[in-house]
Structure 1
């Protein structure tokens, strides 16, 4: 039908039938924790009491936006999992609780990293006061990056395990051939992210690159495209050859 075709093509995940039709209590709890982590990122600065402090506070929108974007990508991976598979057994509940703990652990280091990067940009322009006030040098910045890499890597390790659990339940969930390959593709993309982030953390803590090793994470996107090429998704029989038909 026309409405079904339009709905599928404009859907957030058009090639995957969503099995999580209703929001579960575990998702409600997760959203609350993600909202708390986002609040920690946005409101971690002290309350401004003068005009200069207010102006400086408004400029923090730059590091806040970057940290917000990374946390939102983690939320989106979590959201897509529950919409795709609708699984909330004991194994998933345990993994989800661990994920939420890691999200809260990562929130402050994530904000601190981008605050430090912003302070470094200001320093290059002649004002090192931000980094000096925070007591951050190259070594300290590298350790902070290591904290973030540890949390970020563990988060995607947990998410990859959640997807792997769903893949093990493929027959029970009634996953099609294309959905199985999409799930396998997602797992490998997460695993590649873990390896790249682990390399970032090692370079940040134990090499002279320190926080500049964060640029290694730029490899995540081309690596994901490579995985997409190496694990092609077959055309789903339910979508293949479908044509727009008039309603009625």
Structure 2
């Protein structure tokens, strides 16, 4: 007997993991002493704030998937979602170290910074690859043509994020422009790439609404 999947439980688990990731970030602040008395506590607050809002941004992307997918869930979706949540738990920590190095709080060599960029981009790649594959899976399973095209659009949209992060990993691996933060600044290309993808997709499927 095939039992229906409960999307509510999947969303509840996901929200719990995001909340746990935020808790780990707070614990890592190390506020045993009054941060008002120590100058570097202000830098801790900045790196925490950036990491926190990136985490919230990822939660919004994840939340929007479930709004757009029409409630479709199967074991493939669950597998992609599980991998995504696994990566999210660790994703904020290389990001925090990267921010601290930019703020001068953590001393790091060029080789260490290149490794940090690679870890950051690997987390970015895995998260958005999972999101893209979830959209693609849902687009293939929905019987509503308009919704299927909408899901296909977002599958390709987030695939751009994954591809650009792969380029960032390659640049960091080759050591190109590390001192200038090139592996990070390359993400600026997300704006124009996603814009031109939307133009092309809407031209090919004019009745699609994003």
Superposition TM-score tier, normalisation by shorter sequence: 0.7 to 0.9
The normalised TM-score by structure 1 is 0.72
TM-score by length of 2: 0.84
Instruction: After TM superposition, give the deviation of residue 51 of structure 1 in Å.
Output: 5.5
SS at match of 1:47: coil
Give the paired residue count. 199
**Aligned in 2, Cα 1:236/1:98: closer, same or farther, shift over 3 Å?**
closer
Residue number among 34, 46, 49 corresponding to 1:65 in the alignment: 49
Match of 1:169 in 2: 141
Selected match of 2:187 from 190, 214, 217? 217
Cα deviation digits, residues 186-225 of structure 1 (max 9, x gap): 1111111111111111111322422612100111122111
Of the two structures, which has the highest relative contact order with CA contacts closer than 8 Å and spacing of 6 or more?
A: 1
Cα 1:53–1:140 shift into 2, 3 Å: farther
Q: Say which of 100, 106, 131 aligns to 1:131.
A: 106
Question: Alpha carbons of 1:235 and 1:208: their partners in 2 closer, same or farther (altered >3 Å)?
Answer: closer
Between 60-69 and 100-109, report the one with greater CA deviation.
60-69
Check whether the contact 1:64–1:114 (CA below 8 A) recurs between aligned residues: no
Structure with more of its chain in helix, by fraction: 2
Q: Cα RMSD (Å) of the superposition?
A: 2.3
Is the 2:128–2:162 contact (alpha carbons within 8 Å) kept by the matching residues of 1? yes
Alignment of 1:142-153 (within 5 A): 142-153=114-125
Q: CA deviation at 1:61?
A: 3.0
Which residue in 2 is equivalent to 1:87? 72
CA contact (8 A) 1:160 1:190 kept: yes
1:190 matches 2:175? no
* 1:102 paired residue number: 87
Decide whether the 8 Å contact of 1:48 with 1:57 is kept in 2. no
CA contact (8 A) 1:143 1:210 kept: no
- Runs of 4+ in structure 1 off by over 3 angstroms are 50-55, 233-237
- Give 5+ residue unaligned stretches, structure 2: 1-5
Deviation at 1:164, TM superposition (A): 0.6
Displacement after TM superposition at 1:149 (Å): 0.7
Corresponding residue number in structure 2 for 1:5: none
